[in-house]
Structure 1
């Protein structure tokens, strides 16, 4: 059969168009996935100081359950779950799940140009291994979102379902080729509003602040599937859930933090954070939740958070791998040491995060997050 001398043109044109679209797609998403150690990457437009957002104010208290919802008038918002679990043989795993909303404009729209970017990141680790994955989406197309009545937070097939307007009790499910799990969770304490009714100042003299919600202790059971492991792993343990939102510290290369949470034997829960800003002394703070439900905010004059050892991860990041934490008024004197130093996670928003061994005045399990190293 003869082909007209112009018959090849249409397939060639279609091929070139497809090639152009694919190339542009790789350029866009590849740019997002590039990580540079100074954090000055392709997400920079999301953190332009020229954008205008609602101010974080002390006189605006956090209110539940309303503030479980998104706050698009603020530049960034993130949920963090940190869990220590064991299997039936006593083998220990760390589980971390993070969900972020990042804005680069305060104008709502419904399209691929929607001003909100959503990220979900997960990692499961033990002493020698890490299984990790991430997802991202623009808003406005239904791929990611949050609804209440009941609580539902999702990105693709990663979702958190609550039974009421609260995330707890609830179920968190993640499914990837690398790591999958389904975890049932129940709160063991009331939600805590750190600082002044959820308003947390992050330095001594300046206006840098954020809003915060904590759930210090969650009982967790479920099943893990990990690449290279032939069968599901049944696990149980305890977790810490936090939500933060505001206009600072996510991907700001001159603002970072060291954050540790501890579940102390007897039911006391402790969170300590060192905020690091350029040309300023670190600002230390903490929140102590006692078994009777009393919450005590700890200022920089009430605690000491001192790095003691430094380790270099396989991907070249020098991190403080051991810390000494003292709170004299409560008789707390702890040393926290990384279990697996190679947990620098080169995600779009990068950080080190993983479980720590704890020794000292109290038996405890802990988890740590480090940014900016």
Structure 2
């Protein structure tokens, strides 16, 4: 789910956008997801120009040799101004990249913007390559990747290897986002091992850990009564859990979740089965942000507390949001990532 929806729909109009205005607008000739979802790999690892929004979204929980935790983000967004291909400067495709590194006391973030059709950014499916300027996420296939990005005060160079299958959320990849039926195509590779080097102001740090990559595309993903979301990816001692809640104008929430067993079997959970309740907040860039949560999935006996390793993981980008690594304690232990949008 995530900030990707907000960013891609509002980015071209960020100066005039109010809150989440436009997220529930008509599809204006773009394709819309249909159920049942039918995927074609490796083609679907590449772009879908007939849909309005799309992303390749990777987060990683890392550790240095001394046990110090770090978080890492690499994201490429595509948005289309019109449902057509075009060529060169006439291409309606716009691209945006976000990269970040989170430490216990710092959050480094940078952004890149690019036009489609002129080689600045893009994605090819086979062999897989996603890039914007000199940032790259590339490999012979989707299971073996190298990843690079850099900003004014950080850089990283990583290698990733998948250790499990692709995971399809919702109804075999058709992920419903509202009671009105808005939906996206949504799958993940949540089982990468990752190793490499972070370059920070104090020097290089060799790290290892786990990474989670989300793929999602749609044209009208939200209802016009939805004001923001809270998205959790949790790597636990006995499985993995993806869950999100979409906050609505009447004070209710719409939820969805996927439980993933260690061998990659999945169970999808409909609205109401997954719960996330704020426990405490922090002041972040002048906003009150919940950075400690109680997360429950009663059907799997999950009752955990998730807490940010750094409350100040604010993405000060074209459309700002919060995203950072978390720890998990309680009925299960582990690590994960939390993304939150719509807090003003």
| TM-score, with structure 2 as normaliser | 0.89
- Measured in 2, the distance between the counterparts of 1:287 and 1:144 equals 31
Deviation at 1:304, TM superposition (A): 2.0
Report the secondary structure of 2:44's partner residue: helix
Report the secondary structure of 1:107's partner residue: coil
- Find 2:46's aligned residue among 62, 69, 76: 69
- Tell whether the 8 Å contact from 2:231 to 2:340 is kept in structure 1 after alignment: yes
Question: Are the structure 2 counterparts of residues 50 and 102 from structure 1 closer, same or farther at C-alpha, using a change threshold of 3 Å?
Answer: same
Q: Report the counterpart of residue 4 of structure 2 in structure 1.
A: none
- Measured in 2, the distance between the counterparts of 1:179 and 1:64 equals 34
Does 1:99 pair with 2:76? yes
- Tell whether the 8 Å contact from 1:222 to 1:236 is kept in structure 2 after alignment: yes
Where in structure 2 are the equivalents of 1:142-291 lying within 5 Å? 142-164=119-141, 166=142, 168-204=143-179, 206-226=180-200, 228-229=201-202, 231-249=203-221, 254-266=226-238, 268-279=239-250, 281-291=252-262
Where in structure 2 are the equivalents of 1:25-44 lying within 5 Å? 38=19
- Measured in 2, the distance between the counterparts of 1:138 and 1:276 equals 32
- Measured in 2, the distance between the counterparts of 1:78 and 1:221 equals 23
Higher relative contact order (CA 8 A, sep 6+): 2
- Tell whether the 8 Å contact from 1:200 to 1:210 is kept in structure 2 after alignment: yes
Query: Gapped runs of 5+ residues in structure 2?
Result: 1-11
Does 1:332 pair with 2:302? yes
Q: Report the counterpart of residue 84 of structure 1 in structure 2.
A: 61
Report the secondary structure of 1:349's partner residue: coil
Question: Are the structure 2 counterparts of residues 311 and 93 from structure 1 closer, same or farther at C-alpha, using a change threshold of 3 Å?
Answer: same
Indicate the structure (1 or 2) with the bigger Cα radius of gyration: 1
- Measured in 1, the distance between the counterparts of 2:157 and 2:16 equals 29
Deviation at 1:303, TM superposition (A): 2.6
Question: Are the structure 2 counterparts of residues 47 and 69 from structure 1 closer, same or farther at C-alpha, using a change threshold of 3 Å?
Answer: farther
More strand by share: 2
| TM-score, with structure 1 as normaliser | 0.83
- Find 1:140's aligned residue among 101, 108, 117: 117
- Find 1:54's aligned residue among 31, 34, 39: 31
Q: Report the counterpart of residue 309 of structure 1 in structure 2.
A: 280
Does 1:350 pair with 2:331? no
